[in-house]
Amino acid sequence: MHYVGKLQDGTVFDASLKRGQPLTFELGSGQVIKGWDQGLTRMCIGEKRKLTIPPHLAYGKSGAGGVIPPDATLTFEAELVGIEGYEPPAELEDDDEEDVFESEPVTENEEEEEEEEEEEEEEEEEDEEEEEEEEEEEEEEEEIERDEL
């Protein structure tokens, strides 16, 4: 994985290209920050992603090594350059097609936003059901009034 890590003000705090060697790690093993474990899943070789990682998925209140301040939101531009032990099929090696997919940044509220959308949809459905019930009741009342006349 090649990457450039930046603070919110744009200051670069780390870059694998400066060292001339990609970072090697096992995803999901706790070797990297949680934001990477979550934000880099299902990447394909050659894919690039921009991750915006909130403090609780990065270094939190403690920061890191005097370079990353406490409670820092971090931005990473990452490119998966290979997967250890994987050799792509020959027909894929010279694929010069332009990337068609773009990744969304990881946000602190991603799950909350999804839950809110689901709740809003449920509320809308409930409101529609209530309106239908009210309309049915009004129609019944009108029928009763007509019958009484």
- Cα distance between residue 12 and residue 74, in whole Å: 10
Q: What is the pLDDT of residue 98?
A: 57
- Cα distance between residue 67 and residue 8, in whole Å: 13
- Shared-domain flag, residues 44 and 69: yes
Q: What is the pLDDT of residue 65?
A: 84
What CATH number is associated with residue 17? 3.10.50.40
- Shared-domain flag, residues 64 and 133: no
- Shared-domain flag, residues 7 and 53: yes
- Shared-domain flag, residues 14 and 70: yes
Kindly give the confidence (pLDDT) of every residue in the chain, 149 residues in length, as a single tens digit, with 9 standing for 90 and above. 999 999 999 999 999 988 889 999 888 888 999 999 999 999 999 999 999 999 999 999 999 988 999 999 999 999 999 888 777 677 655 555 555 555 555 555 666 777 778 888 888 888 888 888 888 888 777 777 666 66
Catalytic residues, which ones?
A: 3, 13-14, 33, 59, 76
Question: Containing domain of residue 128, as a range?
Answer: 112-149
- Cα distance between residue 56 and residue 35, in whole Å: 9
Domain count of the fold of the chain: 2
- Shared-domain flag, residues 7 and 75: yes
